[in-house]
C-alpha cells in the first residue's frame, strides 16, 4: 500500500531497516516479538532522558536528576533503572553498549524496568532475548547487536516524534508483517483508513468509554482517541481523554496492544482471554459491562463455536429470536455480543465479511444467519452499512463491510438504513489497495450526514429490506456504474455455497424419508 503521508517515510524506513537488520526482509516478520519491545524500550529511554534533562535544568546536573528520579518515581512517567557510567550519556546507551552476553543483558534490563513499573509487567518483560531452541539461540548476539544498533540511529523523545506518528509507524511495521505473514498476521491488523472511517463516524466525545472485544494491537481504540482529539481542536484543551477497554486472546498481541496504549499516553485497560467464551469486562453484579461506543474487527467466519456455546451463555447476549447464527460463521454472534455491550445510547462499528450482509437471503426455507440479521433489522438497531473496496485487507481480497449499530436512533432515521457502496472509492496500491484521505472524508461525511449520493449511497426503508428478504448488502441496492449489471463475484459465490449446503441437507433428509418408506 502506498504511503500518502510523506513525512512518515523516514520513520517507517528506519523501523523496517531495523527489522531487516536481523535476517533480511524475508524472515523479518518472524522476529516481531523482539523488534517491538526494543522499539518500545527505546521510546521509554528517550522520554526518560527528556524528563531527566528537564529536572537537570532546575537542579543543576543530570547526576542530581538521576538521584531525584530514583528517590521519587512520580517525577517521571516511567522510572528506568538504567544508569550510564557517564550521567551525561543517553539512558539507552546502557543497552547499546552491551558487548557480550547481549541477550542475557537485554532480558535483565527489561525485567528490571518492569519491576520498577507495575504497569509494564507482563508487557515489556515477556520476551527472553536469550531464548534457545534445541540448544540453538533463537536470536544470536550478533543479530541482536545489529538490531540494537539499527534502532539506535533514531531518537524517539518527546520533541522528536509525536505519539500518533509512533502509532503510525507501529501500523506500518504490523502491515509489513501482515504482507509477509499471511492470514495470521492479518488477523490483528485493520487497514488504518477503515479504522479512521469507523472512528470519525462514531464521533467519540471526551470522557466516553470505548470498547473493542477483539482488540488485536489496539489500533481501533487508538483511532477513536485520535478522532476525539482532532474534533476537539480549536476548543479549550481541557477535554477528558477517552477511557479505552479491550480484550485480546493472543498473549503476544495483548502485549502489543498495551505498548500501543502506553506509547500514546492513553488511558486504557487491555484484558487477555477469549471474549466470546469469557468476556472479562463485567459489572458488580457479574453481568456484561456496557459502553458508550464499541469498535471491532473480529476474525471473519469463525466456525469453532457451537450451538451449546450460545445456549450456555449466562450474560443475555443472544436473545430469543436471534441466537445461534449457524456453525459456519460466528459473525452475527459477535454482533450480538457487541450489541449487548452497548449502553442505552450506545453506538458501534464492526467489520464483517461481506457475506454476513446477504447470506441466506433469497433462498427457500429458513437460514439461521438471516434470522439473526432480520432480528437486528426488525429491532431497528442497524443505522448504516458500508460496503468497502476489494483488496484492502491482508488476510483476504474480499471487500468486507462495516456494520454501524445505534441503540438510540433519531426519529428521522427510525425504520430506515443508510447503505453506502464505496467499492469504487480507492486507489491501486502494491500489494494492497487503499482509500486516500479525500475518499476517507467523503465516506465519513456521507455516513455522518446520512446523505444520498448517486452511485454511492441510498436510504432504504425496512419495507424494502424485507421485500429483499433482509439482504442488507449495499451492492444489492446501489449500482456504482452504468455498465454494472452483476453483483460482486465473491458475494455470489458465497451465496451459491450456502445454497449448495442447504441442498445437500435437503437431499440427505429426503433420502432418509425414502429409506424409511422402503423406496
- Kindly tell me if the per-residue pLDDT of 426 is higher than 70: yes
Domain boundaries, the chain: 6-161, 180-489
What is the CATH number that goes with domain 180-489? 3.40.50.150
In the chain, the N- to C-terminal Cα span, in Å, equals 60
Show the cell assigned to 300.
471473519
Residue 49 has phi, psi (to 5 degrees) of -60, -45
Q: Half-sphere exposure (CA, 13 Å, Cβ side) for 260?
A: 29
Q: Is the pLDDT of residue 365 over 70?
A: no
Per the prediction, the chain carries an average pLDDT of 87
pLDDT digits (tens, 9 = 90+) for 118-132: 999 999 999 999 999
- Cell output for 241: 481523554
DSSP letter string, 337-376 = HHHHTEEEEEEEEEEE-GGGGTTTTT-SS--HHHHHHHHH
- Looking at residue 6, its pLDDT comes to 37
pLDDT tens-digit map of 269-328: 999 999 999 999 999 999 999 999 999 999 999 999 999 999 999 999 999 889 999 999
Q: How confident is the model at residue 229 (pLDDT cuts 50, 70, 90)?
A: confident
Do 249 and 276 meet the contact criterion of CB atoms below 8 Å apart? no
- Residue 364: what pLDDT? 64
C-alpha angle with apex 455: 449 to 457, nearest 5 degrees? 25
Predicted local distance difference test score (pLDDT) of residue 162: 64
- Bridge partners (DSSP) of residue 349 are 295, 404
Q: Check if the beta carbon of residue 292 is closer than 8 Å to that of residue 345.
A: yes
Region of poorest pLDDT, from 85-94, 400-409, 510-519: 510-519
Task: Give the total residue count for the chain.
Answer: 519
For 6-161, which CATH class? mainly alpha
pLDDT band of residue 511 (cuts 50, 70, 90) is confident
Asked if the model's pLDDT at residue 383 lies above 50, the reply is yes
- Give burial (CB, 10 Å; 0-12/13-18/19+) of 398: buried
Average pLDDT over residues 243-259: 90
Positive or negative: CA dihedral 378, 379, 384, 385: negative
Supply the pLDDT for residue 388: 97
Residue 92 is predicted with a pLDDT of 98
Confidence band (pLDDT; 50, 70, 90) for 7?
A: very low
DSSP letter at 83? -
What proportion of the chain, given as a percentage, has pLDDT over 90?
Answer: 63
If DSSP codes are grouped into helix, strand and coil, which group holds residue 509? helix
Which tens digits make up the pLDDT trace of 139-160?
899 999 999 999 999 898 888 8
Average pLDDT over residues 482-492: 60
Does 332 or 168 have the greater pLDDT score?
A: 332
Contact 221, 215 (CB under 8 A): yes
Give the pLDDT score at 1: 38
Instruction: Choose from 13-17, 93-97, 159-163, 513-517 the range with maximum mean pLDDT.
Output: 93-97
Model confidence, pTM? 0.85
At residue 35, the pLDDT reads 84
Amino acid at each position: 500500500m502506498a504511503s500518502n503521508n510523506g513525512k512518515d517515510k523516514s520513520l517507517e524506513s528506519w523501523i523496517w531497516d531495523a527489522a531487516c537488520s536481523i535476517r533480511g526482509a524475508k524472515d523479518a516478520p518472524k522476529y516481531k516479538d523482539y523488534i517491538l519491545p526494543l522499539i518500545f524500550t527505546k521510546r521509554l529511554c528517550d522520554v526518560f532522558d527528556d524528563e531527566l534533562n528537564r529536572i537537570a535544568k532546575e537542579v543543576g546536573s543530570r547526576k542530581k536528576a538521576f538521584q531525584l528520579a530514583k528517590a521519587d518515581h512520580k517525577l517521571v512517567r516511567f522510572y528506568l533503572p538504567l544508569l550510564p557510567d557517564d550521567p551525561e550519556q543517553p539512558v539507552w546507551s546502557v543497552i547499546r553498549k552491551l558487548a557480550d552476553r547481549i541477550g542475557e543483558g537485554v532480558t535483565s534490563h527489561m525485567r528490571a524496568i518492569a519491576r520498577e513499573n507495575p504497569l509494564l509487567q507482563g508487557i515489556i518483560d515477556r520476551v527472553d532475548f536469550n531464548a534457545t531452541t534445541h540448544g540453538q539461540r533463537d536470536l544470536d548476539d550478533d543479530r541482536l547487536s545489529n538490531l540494537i544498533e539499527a534502532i539506535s540511529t533514531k531518537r524517539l523523545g518527546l520533541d522528536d516524534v509525536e505519539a500518533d506518528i509512533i502509532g503510525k509507524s507501529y501500523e506500518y511495521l504490523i502491515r509489513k508483517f501482515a504482507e509477509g505473514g499471511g492470514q495470521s498476521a492479518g488477523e490483528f491488523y485493520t487497514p488504518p483508513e477503515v479504522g479512521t472511517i469507523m472512528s470519525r463516524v462514531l464521533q467519540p466525545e471526551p470522557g466516553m468509554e470505548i470498547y473493542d472485544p477483539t482488540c488485536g494491537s489496539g489500533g481501533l481504540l487508538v483511532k477513536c482517541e485520535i478522532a476525539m482529539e482532532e474534533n476537539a481542536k480549536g476548543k479549550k484543551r481541557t477535554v477528558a481523554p477517552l477511557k479505552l477497554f479491550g480484550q485480546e486472546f493472543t498473549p503476544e498481541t495483548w502485549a502489543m496492544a498495551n505498548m500501543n496504549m502506553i506509547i500514546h499516553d492513553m488511558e486504557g485497560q487491555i484484558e487477555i482471554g477469549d471474549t466470546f467464551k469469557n468476556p472479562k469486562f463485567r459489572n458488580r453484579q457479574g453481568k456484561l459491562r456496557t459502553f458508550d461506543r464499541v469498535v471491532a474487527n473480529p476474525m471473519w467466519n469463525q466456525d469453532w463455536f457451537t450451538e451449546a456455546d450460545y445456549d450456555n451463555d449466562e450474560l443475555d447476549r443472544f436473545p430469543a429470536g436471534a441466537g445461534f447464527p449457524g456453525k459456519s460463521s460466528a459473525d452475527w454472534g459477535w454482533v450480538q455480543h457487541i450489541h449487548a455491550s452497548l449502553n442505552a445510547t450506545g453506538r458501534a462499528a464492526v467489520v464483517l465479511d461481506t457475506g454476513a450482509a446477504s447470506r441466506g437471503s433469497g433462498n427457500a426455507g429458513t437460514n439461521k444467519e438471516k434470522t439473526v440479521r432480520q432480528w437486528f433489522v426488525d429491532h431497528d438497531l442497524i443505522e448504516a452499512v458500508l460496503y468497502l473496496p476489494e483488496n484492502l485487507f491482508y488476510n483476504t481480497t474480499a471487500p468486507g463491510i462495516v456494520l454501524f449499530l445505534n441503540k438510540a436512533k433519531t426519529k428521522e432515521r427510525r425504520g430506515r438504513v443508510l447503505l453506502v457502496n464505496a467499492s469504487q472509492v480507492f486507489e491501486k496500491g502494491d500489494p494492497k489497495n487503499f482509500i486516500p484521505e479525500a475518499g476517507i472524508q467523503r465516506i465519513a461525511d456521507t455516513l455522518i450526514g446520512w446523505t444520498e449520493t448517486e452511485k454511492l449511497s441510498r436510504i432504504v426503508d425496512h419495507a424494502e429490506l424485507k421485500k429483499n428478504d433482509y439482504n442488507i448488502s449495499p451492492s444489492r441496492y446501489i449500482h456504482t456504474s452504468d455498465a454494472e449489471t452483476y453483483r460482486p463475484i465473491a458475494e455470489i459465490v458465497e451465496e451459491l455455497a450456502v445454497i449448495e449446503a442447504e441442498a445437500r441437507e435437503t437431499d440427505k433428509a429426503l433420502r432418509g424419508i425414502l429409506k424409511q418408506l422402503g423406496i
